Chains A and B, each alone.
Chain A
Amino acid sequence: MIKPVLLWTDMLIFVLVAVVIVFIFYARHHEHLRAPWRQVFRSRIGVASLLVLSVYVLIALLDSVHFRLPLATQSVGQQSQQNQQQEYYSVEVLSLLDIALLPLREQGEKTYSAPLATELFARETVELADGGRQRFYPRLEYGGAHLKNPAAERNTDLLKRSAVAIVMGLLIWLVLMTPLLWMLARRRELTLAAMLENILRRREAVPWFVVFMVSAMLLILIMLMVWLAPYYHLFGTDKVGQDVLYQALKSVRTALAIGTLTTLIMLPFAVLLGILAGYFRGWVDDVIQYLYTTLNSIPGVLLIAAAVLMLQVYIDTHPELFATDSERADMRLLFLCMILGITSWTGLCRLLRGETMKIREVEYIQAATAFGVRSSRIISRHILPNVMHIVLISVVLDFSGLVLAEAVLSYVGVGVDPSMHSWGNMINSARLEMAREPMVWWALVAAFVFMFVLVLAANLFSDVVRDAFDPRLRKG
């Protein structure tokens, strides 16, 4: 039996997914929430960036189901067999993503190799059978290992495999999109051809054309990876020969965890304190303002650095608390989210305070007060729903900044645990390889590309969400 492992961040991620699902169901039945989302889904940039983001989310979710595999049960002696049925588990915590990427994970080389290379990056001196020595580039153990004569065959093999991958991607695309098209056609009571024409001529409110194009692109990219990655190292290998693509994919979860969990953790404080300060004013306001001015006045990076350094001392002096390395790294990730939350809630808190001050003067609140409605009920029924758009906008806007911050913090040395896969750690270790001649550039490029696509999609999406939800910007 495998032993499921529920890390703290996994739990929070699942909580977040549950919250999102509940919110979707809630929003479906409330027109004032549906309307802005409808606007998001009718924006071309909105759906395109949402599709890209959903691929990242999928990877992160796959990477959030953790378990430990049992070690091969060896019958050491008859005594132990009788004694207990206790199983021993590997100390390595795996996730579903690890299983999906098994070839990438296992097929390590000796050291650096360039993207799509079939030979190691550096020459090695090998002793020949006749006693002489020769320096040459040794073949990779896995990358292009199926080729007999790599120099001649590699490019045609790559082309062939890419062509197959593109065809496969398009096939899967057709398989996925035809039912969608059919469903759409049924709902509109049109024939398939008429529906297709509607989409191609962009007559639909929802930009289905963009949906089809972007998903085709994404599927082709995914299929290229699926078909090429087991045979080549698409992004090369790093110093210890680990596949860079594998590292980049594993880093997705870290980035998304930091981008989302930080806000999840800080949100209750920011919302509660902000509304309380704005609603009660007086000394409550003074105390809360004092609290956030104090926290805000400490330079963010320094507060994070101090807190993370302290946590590291604590972890190092209490090794007995953590069963595996991943649990330890996970603790540090969670703590990093918390401390990032502490440094970043003040902006939202201040916004909510100001907005609450405005709302509490509105007639319907005064009417509620006159009817003798309790403050707690006024806040939950009347004020909270009316500031939710601010919360949503700031959550979405913060996301990309947090993803970028992770890389910087890892560079400073106060980011996630060095053993955890993250783009920041990849950049940090690749930085030293810049000085090599010729340069080892692929780990750096891979980390930047993955990060760039995620942040760009998040930025575009957050713009669309802001335009849809900000009442000042809403048209008509």
Chain B
Amino acid sequence: MLAYIVRRFFYAIPILIGVNLITFTLFFVVNTPDDMARMQLGMKHVTPAAIEKWKQAHGYDRPLLYNDQHSGLSSVTDTIFFDKSVRLFAFQFGQADDGRDIAHDIRERMWPSLAIAVPTLLAGLLVTITVSMLLAFFRASYIDFAGVVLLVVLMSVSSLFYIIAGQYLVGKLLHLVPISGYQGGIDAWKFIILPVIIGVVGGLGSGSRWYRTLFLEEIGKDYVRTARAKGLAEIRVLFRHVLRNAMIPILTGVVVVLPTLFMGSLILESFFGIPGLGSYTIDAIRSQDFAIVRAMVFLGSVLYILGLLLTDISYTLVDPRVRLS
């Protein structure tokens, strides 16, 4: 087990290097730092001196890959590639364009993101499994048919609609909770509850449909027939046998997204003004702060790879038939 984890860990390194090279190419080779400076300073009336000053202030005034003004090791280290890309491996994200420390911001904004993402995941799992179990219980009946139609309709609605409609209905018409904003501590639930509900409803359609197929697949298997032949009640068959076996794909599907919960939801957070990592990313994209976008790309990849690793491990934990080799 440990050997497997170590091996997977080494397997992750080339992938991260690949991610790093892709982002480096995207950010520095396709467009020169001069372009970036011009973009940041505004397109017109930019003097070369101003560009130089901007580049110096943000550390872009060095060669891309190889610095021939130095010798030895520092000819490689005193370059944009080393400073902006290689340092990411040590989680040194550097400074944003407004001078704030990115790593500090990430640590601070992680908590609001988690405060939304974790309840959304748990509540979503509960609701989705309940709905799909009900549909599986009433399979091949009009209730099942109507339920599936409803789920397809839910799937076809844009997630933006759920957010806008939810904000309008709950926040503006009923004045139950504030429309947006965030506050730490005990009062946080007021700001969390609406995004969580909307997140759950938004994921209900596709999630329940998928789980329903999983359940129906299990229901058709022999061991279920045996369980019924033993005289077990349908409810007991569903919960004791079908649910437990269908939980394998469900759980592994959940495990893979666990690490990325840190990244928060881009859209929910920015609509509800929650100071998490999702809105952080969106703000960075909108203000074209490339340092933050780069850091988030790297962080996202690390978390995704971590998710893959956790999935493989969780397979062995929930399904004894799978052995890691």
Interface residues in chain A, defined as those with a beta carbon under 8 Å from any beta carbon in chain B: 290, 293-299, 301-303, 305-307, 309-310, 313-314, 316-317, 400, 404, 407-408, 411-414, 427, 431, 434, 439, 444, 448, 451-452, 455-456, 459-460, 463
Contacts and interface: CB of A to CB of B under 8 A. Distances in A.
Contact of A451 (B15, B39, B158, B290): B158
Contacts of A460: 152
Interface of A is mostly: helix
B315 interface: no
Nearest to A342: B22
Nearest to A291: B18
B156 A307 contact: no
B158 A313 contact: no
B293 A459 contact: no
Interface in B175-200: none
A303 B43 contact: no
A451 B155 CA distance: 12
B35 A313 contact: yes
A275 B117 CA distance: 37
14 contacts: A294-B18, A298-B19, A298-B297, A298-B304, A303-B297, A306-B27, A306-B290, A306-B293, A307-B26, A309-B285, A316-B43, A407-B160, A412-B282, A455-B155
Nearest to B14: A290
A427 B285 contact: no
A386 to B, nearest CB: 23
A455 B159 CA distance: 12
Given A305-B285, A407-B158, A413-B286, A459 B152 contact: yes
A136 to B, nearest CB: 28
Contacts of B301: 297-299
Contacts of A298: 19, 22-23, 297, 300-301, 304
Nearest to B281: A302
A209 to B, nearest CB: 19
B99 to A, nearest CB: 21
Given A306-B27, A309-B293, A451-B158, A316 B39 contact: yes
Contacts of A452: 156-158, 161
B160 A408 contact: yes
A427 B164 CA distance: 10
A314 B38 CA distance: 11
A309 B30 contact: no
A404 B159 contact: yes
Contacts of B159: 404, 408
Interface string B25-37: 0110011000110
Interface stretch (B55-63, B88-96, B228-236, B260-268): B260-268
Identify the interface centre among B160, B161, B263: most chain A CB within 10 Å of its CB: B160
B223 interface: no
Contact of A431 (B26, B157, B164): B164
Interface of B: 14-15, 18-19, 22-23, 26-27, 30-31, 35-36, 38-39, 43, 152-153, 155-161, 164, 167-168, 260, 263, 266-267, 281-282, 285-286, 288, 290, 293-294, 296-297, 300-301, 304-305, 308
A294 B300 contact: no
Identify the interface centre among B18, B161, B168: most chain A CB within 10 Å of its CB: B161
Contacts of B23: 298, 306
Contacts of B158: 404, 407-408, 427, 448, 451-452, 455
B27 A459 contact: no
A309 B31 CA distance: 10
Contacts of B153: 456
List the 6 shortest-distance A-B pairs measured between CB atoms, nearest first.
A299-B300, A294-B18, A456-B156, A455-B156, A297-B301, A297-B304
A273 to B, nearest CB: 15
A410 to B, nearest CB: 9
A313 B36 contact: yes
Contacts of B267: 408, 411-412
Given A294-B18, A310-B27, A310-B31, A302 B156 contact: no
A297 B308 CA distance: 9
B143 to A, nearest CB: 18
Contacts of A302: 281, 293, 296-297, 300
Contacts of A316: 39, 43
A297 B263 CA distance: 13
A140 to B, nearest CB: 27
Contacts of B26: 306-307, 310
B161 A448 contact: yes
A426 B22 CA distance: 33
A434 B15 contact: no
B152 A463 contact: yes
Contacts of B38: 317
B266 A301 contact: yes
Contact of B152 (A294, A414, A427, A456): A456
A297 B168 CA distance: 36
Contacts of A306: 23, 26-27, 290, 293-294, 297
A118 B209 CA distance: 45
Identify the interface centre among B23, B31, B294: most chain A CB within 10 Å of its CB: B31
Contacts of A314: 30-31, 35
A290 B21 CA distance: 14
Contacts of A459: 152, 155-156
B164 A444 contact: yes
A306 B297 CA distance: 9
Contacts of B35: 313-314, 317
A317 B263 CA distance: 32
A414 B167 CA distance: 24
Nearest to A423: B158
Nearest to B307: A297
B132 to A, nearest CB: 16
Contacts of B304: 296-299
Nearest to A294: B18
A309 B19 contact: no
Contacts of A309: 285, 288, 290, 293
A466 to B, nearest CB: 11
Nearest to B167: A434
Contacts of A295: 22
A313 B290 CA distance: 12
B18 A290 contact: yes
A298 B303 CA distance: 10
Contacts of B161: 448, 452
Given A306-B27, A407-B158, A408-B267, A297 B19 contact: yes
Nearest to A454: B156
B193 to A, nearest CB: 20
B139 to A, nearest CB: 15
A286 to B, nearest CB: 10
B152 A412 contact: no
Given A296-B304, A448-B158, 18 more contacts: A290-B14, A294-B19, A298-B301, A299-B260, A299-B263, A299-B300, A299-B304, A305-B281, A306-B293, A306-B294, A309-B290, A313-B31, A313-B39, A408-B159, A427-B160, A431-B164, A456-B153, A456-B156
Nearest to A316: B43
A413 B285 contact: yes
